[in-house]
Structure 1
Amino acid sequence: MDLPTCPACKQSVLDDDAVDCPFCGAPLKGGAAPARPAPAARGSAPAAPGKPAPAKPGAATGSKSSAGGSATGKSAATPAGPAEDDPFGVDPSIAANAIPVSPTPGAGKSIEVTCPMCETKGYVSPKAAGKMVKCCNPKCMVPLFSGPPLPKKEVVVKEQPKKKLPWLYIAGGVGFAVIAGVSIWFMQDQGISELPPSENVYVPGQGNSNGMNSGDEGTQTTQATTPQKTQPDANSARDDLTKQALSRILEVSSNIRQERKPMWRRLAITAYTFANEPQKAREQLNLLEKATNQSPYEGIPPLVAMAWRSAGNAGEMQKTVEEALALAEKLPPRGRFATEAALGLAPLLVLAGKADQAHALLAEHRSEAPLEQFAAAMRISIEDHSFNLDRPYIGRSVGYWQFPLETGVTLSLAAHGRWDEALGWANQLTDAVARTEARTAWAESLLHSSGANADAKVLERARSVGTDMNPAGQARLLARLAAVRAEQGDRAGAAQLLSEAGTILKSFPKSESIVVEGAKPLLDLKLPDANSLKQMALAAADVACVQARTGDRAAMEQVELALRLAGAIGPAINPTQERRRQVGDTAKIGAELKKALALKKDDEIRRAVTQYKLKLSEVEGAAANRFQIETVVLQAAANAGLHSQVWDVLERYDRKPAKEHQPLIATHLSYLVAQRFAEAGDAGRSDEIQQAVQSRVDPADPEIIKLVVEHLLATGDVARCVARLNGAVTPNGHLHETVLRLATRLAQSGKNVEAVTFSNSISDPTLKEECLYFTAVGAAIKGAGPAYWKAAKDVGLGPNESTAVGAGLVVGLNQTAAQ
């Protein structure tokens, strides 16, 4: 039938007796106008996200022209809803009413608008203000958006006498209010859509699809009543979840702030890549690489993922690497993202025969030591497909990596099975320590990947990289291989390797701690080669830790050896700091030097004071180096089960005279030892130690904070854990890895609600999105995608956070499917 149409807004009016338009309030004049499709949202609740709008019944078969009065004789089809298989489909009735945007300014079209999806600029007339408009880019994926509102003008309206409304209007108004309220209730659901039941979700490595953790409701019932799912069922569930996640990513795109749009595109490209939608990934990548974009280098991480996925096609891989390399030229020289992007691209450059460019790229984008450690840990967890930072890393058994970026490249290549290229990279490193560390990590990774059934040839190949190493490097290599064999159950093989390492340690020079008293001895002090002593100390500590874990009682002997080697690097830190405090009194130092050196002339005294200050700076560096190595050695020993012996060492050092006093007891080591006592069941000793050192430790020390937040998370106090981290995280990166490690711990243990809550509570926006992304990937890999998505929906994430979750789920599901 023909419905009245408002001459102002062109909307169809259902009430034949209406005098004014219920939509815009304009008076209805004249007869019925040709019927137009009503907007899908009018008169009914909207369809659930991701589902097509239901078709309206009763399609019209014909209509009469109000102008000419003759029948058309043609059937008018009911407006179709979105396509069933299009998660981003828009009801054609809405698109039909949208005002087209002109690509160029013209008569009456002077207001510039920018499409929030494709960023194409166009022009509309003032009449389009606040109304739905359509992008002028025919390739735009989401072309509909609202026009900019015009400034409101206050209009004084004379009060009209009230009129009694007919009961018909009152009833109609009530009905309209009810419908509008229901519609608003549905539309306010900004969280992620409900997922298919958990039994339909793809689970890696299993024929069935029941991948929910044992704590989820309905698991036992499903196991008892649901037959085993076939692979097509699992694939269908995975595809459905992927489609919904992609829909959510696109849905929130218009709410992303302009300065955050490049980050959104980076995640969208990554999601499209893993969802095998290369055309959509390329569209977003082209937008990211536009000349007007201020951060096109955001495309490097997804290009790195594309390159690894196309590793079977050498030509395609080479092309992708070249594109990423071109974007790398636009990276800022410093900054966390620059370091992470450079480390991601470097292994691909090695495979492409561009090792020199890989070296140059890493050298150009160095960061603070904690940020480099974090970048390497993240990259390795991405390349080995675990997305889990809560695990021991190869090469960090005693202290952190000494060359995290170079070792990170080695382990990234090894994670992809590129053993020859990884060893080639390690062998051509020019720094001897970097070369030894990278080769040792390569050998440990090779033996570890071979499993418990590794034959003698694998072990021999791993050992062969130490042929030209110095004794410290050889001892540490043997210790690491022994640790792997012990973990694989070959205790006899581990004991043999440890015996060989112990023989090498006996060849180390006898060393004693440096003690300096007086100005003249300090000037005469000749410091040894600190680097060689450091490597020997770390080797002895590595051997000690493996011995401790295998029950060898000689472990503490190697710890003491490591401490003696460290002590030979420089004097204790307390007397050195006291010397520094005296430097301000030049007259006093000059008098001491005059007497000690029998100086007579003022020029000689001034030169001696200058030499003294320079020498003191050198000695201070050696003292700090010694202190740091002793801390690393004792921390590793405490973590290996020698916490009781470590506490004895701390007390012994604290009792030494002023000239040898080393305040190790005032560091985080005391709290670490206390924590290990508590874990061993000795709560009394733990409390006693904490009370003894409480006034001497610095609560703002990042190492102390790490121990505190570990304890808070272990006791289930997520809120206080996050609050402590938010108050301590700084741009220098000291606690960044800790934040992501704790987040992934929650996800890996199946605590999806806690993982989402923890991640979403982090105040640093970049860290927050990384936590959500990594935990979503981890949950999807473990088959807990539905539980994670529901937890994210219940929290109510913002657009950036929703994008991180959606991209993480897509990557986790489809990465697993490809393996």
Structure 2
Amino acid sequence: MCETPGFVPRQAAGREVKCANPECLVPIFTAPAGKSASKPDESVSAADDDTQAGGKGTLIALMLLVAAGAAGGGFWYFNNIPPETSEPGITAGNVQSGFGPTDTPAVVSATPPENNPVKAASDVPPKEESDGISIALIRKQAPGLMIAAAQEREDNRSKPFCRQLTAEFFASVGQVDQALAELKQLTQVGPDLPHLHITTLVDLWQHKQGSAPASPGPQLNEAVQRSSNLTATDPFAVDVIQALGCALVASGQTALAETTIQRLWTPGLAQRLRLDQLQCRQSGTFTLSANNTWPVSLDDESNPEPLLIAGLVAAGHSEAALAWARRKTTLSERSELIVAWAVGMKTKAEAAAVEKLSTSLADEDPAIRAVVLARMAFVDAAAKSPTASESITLATQALESCVAPRVVSLGEIKQLYRTAIDDVSRWRLKAQAQADLIGALNLSGQLEKARKLFHDALASARSLGPGRDDIAQRLKSTRSQGNAGLIQQMKSSLELTSDDAALQAGQQYVKKCQEWLTLADQRARYLDQIHRWGIAHGLGSESWKDIRERGLTGDLSIRDPFTSSTLPSFLFLSFQAAGNTNATGLMNQFLPAGLPIDTNEQLRLRTGTALSSGDLQAVVQAVRADSNARRDRDSRFARRRILFELVGIAASSEYPQRALTLVASIRDPRLAIWQEEAYLLLAAQLAANGRHAIAWKYATNGNRKPTERVALITGLLEGLNSLAPQTAPGT
């Protein structure tokens, strides 16, 4: 079942059907029942149909009005948004500059105060005792309940899903016969889903390895065979990359691992969200964090290989992991994987890990050493480790050996034409290391050093290339004059006499401008990420100073495109949420009107405030309103990520029951798979925090659907297993 629209005959309602999408992860599911006379439950998507409720006459009249006013009013509308149609609390109207009133809270409850908002069902702090629900009891009864849930027909969205999770559980604890029995059942209920066997087969292979060096085996060979028809667009592809990739690298089949990853990985929103879920499960946090204790990636690109490296180290294959990381030749790729290896080694807390890390870094480029040591410092600071101070010192010293910042000045046409474009990898890595160290310094209370380093990091980012506005304007001007104008310009600027030579020089000039534009885009992305990271670490005032100096200047050669991004809005929302009216007043005074709004951050703050007050109805209403306003793919996945974050926040709060109630409140059928994924992470987080009784009671309640129960129990068992270190193969 996925989000692919389709038609289900009335007689198929309530029965198992097959999804029309050939790439659906779980194509066999139970079709929703037909409409009943009773009023449907309110859901996040309930308002999706509200816009279609009006009569055709009204719709036609509106279309005529829109058509009549489109030509004359289109430009006015997009540049002059009336205050009464804007979101409360952050207005971009034509009445004033900036983002609107400074005395309006950034986060406005979706429920008026007089409406008595619905609170969480169990809005009292949980008792410390487990009401007789012991971990031993859960471990004993859980497998039977999972099998029973997989056998249920009523309200069972996907029997294959239930069988898959049950088989994976038995394989993970070494119960081979039970795992094989579940795989047999999986074949019967999902004969056209061979890839759902892969993770279980890999676990069975790993169980057979013991302490001996890993080697190929029949289960691993079968897993490879079952992956042959899987495509990169399949939602399960990320899971297969992680499980099968680790096994292939550990068993020495690196070439096959390489081709498998290349075949199954396609960067995208769905893949990135799934990758982050697997990462938080592997790390044992079980929550998608949005706070400043989660490392930042300035590249803002997803890559499955760091998670694969971490999995190899956790399974005891650190040598294979390091060799896999070192196969990369580019500094950026190599540093990313060595960082993952180093953090994994530190997590294992072995006595020889520090010495091994030092030895391994000795021959690496200074930029790579700086990135690794800065990430280690950040990890130590986030964990409040007693070694944080020493780690910060080592990272600071490593940065001193990195390349110095530069000023990229293109000058006139002759200078731009003759200036060579250097490899900027070392500036990128230096900026990344500085960003991690900024976080480490802030988390360690060294705010003044963090402020200075923030501006140093911005200088490193500006070393990547020219300002985007400058090079974009040059390229636009060159293209607008045509070949004849370009030839004359090259003749004049480069002192050429031949038309052919001038045309060839002009083509090289345009190509070089395009290359500079690519670097300018990288510069803009890095600056944006560093600013947001600094704001998250309390450096909002420093960020505003830089935005004002470099984003509002009239000097095109040094101007950065801040006002065309949502960065000013992000900063404004941060100030507003903190009640800093002086800062919001200054921003409104100096910024131009009509700047883009960071709607993701706006939704995150609004729902977070509602959640903290226990107003779950307001959370649901805010998400529903956003889903009506923004229907693009990026926004859909942004909402899902925010919901994951909210669930994790609620689970770690004084009122964890709110998390369960929140997940249950999302009744959109299109989010059924998200709901099960959220239940799994939530139950694991509760169990890892010693709140297993709450999750167990909820999972075993008679109102749970089979797939929900299996997901909850799977998460519970994962969370409990994270409490005690497991003996891994190869250790």
**Fold match by TM threshold 0.5:** yes
The alpha-carbon distance between structure 1 residues 353 and 651, as it changes in their structure 2 partners (threshold 3 A), is same
Q: Provide the residue aligned with 2:679 in structure 1.
A: 772
> Which one of 367, 379, 383 corresponds to residue 472 of structure 1?
367
> What letter is aligned with 2:420?
K
* 1:329-344 alignment, distance < 5 Å: 329-344=228-243
State how far apart, in whole Å, the 2-side matches of 1:316 and 1:526 are.
Answer: 49
1:690 is displaced (CA, Å) by 7.0
The alpha-carbon distance between structure 1 residues 410 and 518, as it changes in their structure 2 partners (threshold 3 A), is same
1:810 is displaced (CA, Å) by 5.7
Q: TM-score, normalised by structure 2?
A: 0.69
1:559 is displaced (CA, Å) by 2.7
Q: Provide the residue aligned with 2:26 in structure 1.
A: none
Q: Provide the residue aligned with 1:723 in structure 2.
A: 624
1:360 is displaced (CA, Å) by 2.2
> What letter is aligned with 1:633?
I
> Which one of 657, 663, 676 corresponds to residue 561 of structure 2?
663
State how far apart, in whole Å, the 1-side matches of 2:392 and 2:232 are.
Answer: 44
Greater Cα offset, 667-676 or 306-315: 306-315
Unaligned stretches of 5+ residues in structure 1: 1-112, 120-212
* 1:411-490 alignment, distance < 5 Å: 411-450=310-349, 458-486=353-381
* 1:86-101 alignment, distance < 5 Å: none
**RMSD over aligned Cα atoms:** 4.3
Which digits, 9 at most, give the CA deviation of each residue in 1:452-476, with x for residues without a partner? xx86x54333333210121222222
1:631 aligns with 2:528: yes
The alpha-carbon distance between structure 1 residues 343 and 702, as it changes in their structure 2 partners (threshold 3 A), is farther
The alpha-carbon distance between structure 1 residues 756 and 375, as it changes in their structure 2 partners (threshold 3 A), is closer
> Which one of 431, 453, 456 corresponds to residue 558 of structure 1?
453
Which digits, 9 at most, give the CA deviation of each residue in 1:727-752, with x for residues without a partner? 45727996354443333333343133
Q: Secondary structure at the match of 1:331?
A: coil
1:649 is displaced (CA, Å) by 1.0
1:588 is displaced (CA, Å) by 5.0
Q: Provide the residue aligned with 1:742 in structure 2.
A: 646
Q: Provide the residue aligned with 2:250 in structure 1.
A: 351
State how far apart, in whole Å, the 2-side matches of 1:494 and 1:272 are.
Answer: 40
State how far apart, in whole Å, the 2-side matches of 1:817 and 1:565 are.
Answer: 43
- Looking at both structures, which has the greater relative contact order when contacts are Cα pairs under 8 Å and sequence separation is at least 6? 2
Q: Provide the residue aligned with 1:698 in structure 2.
A: 596
The alpha-carbon distance between structure 1 residues 312 and 815, as it changes in their structure 2 partners (threshold 3 A), is farther
State how far apart, in whole Å, the 2-side matches of 1:416 and 1:530 are.
Answer: 35
Q: Secondary structure at the match of 1:641?
A: coil
* 1:346-745 alignment, distance < 5 Å: 346-368=245-267, 370-371=269-270, 373-390=272-289, 396-399=295-298, 404-450=303-349, 458-486=353-381, 494-550=388-444, 551=446, 553-582=448-477, 583-586=479-482, 589-598=486-495, 602-604=499-501, 606-656=503-553, 657-677=555-575, 682=580, 684-686=582-584, 689=587, 695-699=593-597, 713=611, 716=615, 717-723=618-624, 726=627, 727=630, 730=633, 735=638, 737-745=641-649
Q: Provide the residue aligned with 2:198 in structure 1.
A: 300
What is the aligned-residue identity percentage? 20
Q: Secondary structure at the match of 1:574?
A: helix
Contact 1:344 1:379 in 2 (8 A): no
State how far apart, in whole Å, the 2-side matches of 1:774 and 1:292 are.
Answer: 25
State how far apart, in whole Å, the 2-side matches of 1:505 and 1:330 are.
Answer: 47
1:791 is displaced (CA, Å) by 5.5
> What letter is aligned with 1:515?
S
1:648 is displaced (CA, Å) by 0.9
The alpha-carbon distance between structure 1 residues 643 and 374, as it changes in their structure 2 partners (threshold 3 A), is same
Which digits, 9 at most, give the CA deviation of each residue in 1:698-717, with x for residues without a partner? 34776776666556655653
* 1:69-218 alignment, distance < 5 Å: none
Unaligned stretches of 5+ residues in structure 2: 1-11, 19-120, 727-731
Q: Secondary structure at the match of 1:388?
A: coil
> What letter is aligned with 2:580?
D
State how far apart, in whole Å, the 2-side matches of 1:408 and 1:685 are.
Answer: 40
> Which one of 137, 157, 163 corresponds to residue 236 of structure 1?
137
The alpha-carbon distance between structure 1 residues 681 and 703, as it changes in their structure 2 partners (threshold 3 A), is closer
State how far apart, in whole Å, the 2-side matches of 1:706 and 1:118 are.
Answer: 36
1:383 is displaced (CA, Å) by 2.9
Which digits, 9 at most, give the CA deviation of each residue in 1:282-339, with x for residues without a partner? 3442354579933311222333444555664879994433332221222114444223
Contact 2:699 2:713 in 1 (8 A): no
Contact 1:386 1:778 in 2 (8 A): yes
The alpha-carbon distance between structure 1 residues 373 and 218, as it changes in their structure 2 partners (threshold 3 A), is closer
Which digits, 9 at most, give the CA deviation of each residue in 1:517-576, with x for residues without a partner? 554443333222121221122223333332333316233333333222322221101122
State how far apart, in whole Å, the 2-side matches of 1:408 and 1:733 are.
Answer: 25
Paired positions, count: 597
Which digits, 9 at most, give the CA deviation of each residue in 1:84-137, with x for residues without a partner? xxxxxxxxxxxxxxxxxxxxxxxxxxxxx9xx9999xxxxxxxxxxxxxxxxxx
> What letter is aligned with 2:549?
R
1:504 is displaced (CA, Å) by 4.1
Q: Secondary structure at the match of 2:474?
A: helix
1:270 is displaced (CA, Å) by 3.3
Contact 2:603 2:622 in 1 (8 A): no
1:323 aligns with 2:323: no
State how far apart, in whole Å, the 2-side matches of 1:662 and 1:734 are.
Answer: 28
1:813 is displaced (CA, Å) by 5.9
> What letter is aligned with 1:471?
P
Contact 1:486 1:494 in 2 (8 A): yes
State how far apart, in whole Å, the 1-side matches of 2:299 and 2:671 are.
Answer: 24
The alpha-carbon distance between structure 1 residues 664 and 700, as it changes in their structure 2 partners (threshold 3 A), is closer
Which digits, 9 at most, give the CA deviation of each residue in 1:604-633, with x for residues without a partner? 554444333322221210110111122222
Question: Relative to total residues, which structure has the larger helix share, 1 or 2?
Answer: 2
State how far apart, in whole Å, the 2-side matches of 1:313 and 1:505 are.
Answer: 40
Contact 1:653 1:662 in 2 (8 A): yes
1:661 is displaced (CA, Å) by 1.4
Contact 1:394 1:445 in 2 (8 A): no
State how far apart, in whole Å, the 2-side matches of 1:490 and 1:764 are.
Answer: 39
Contact 1:371 1:733 in 2 (8 A): no
> What letter is aligned with 2:682?
T
Q: Secondary structure at the match of 2:560?
A: coil
> What letter is aligned with 1:771?
A
1:662 is displaced (CA, Å) by 0.7
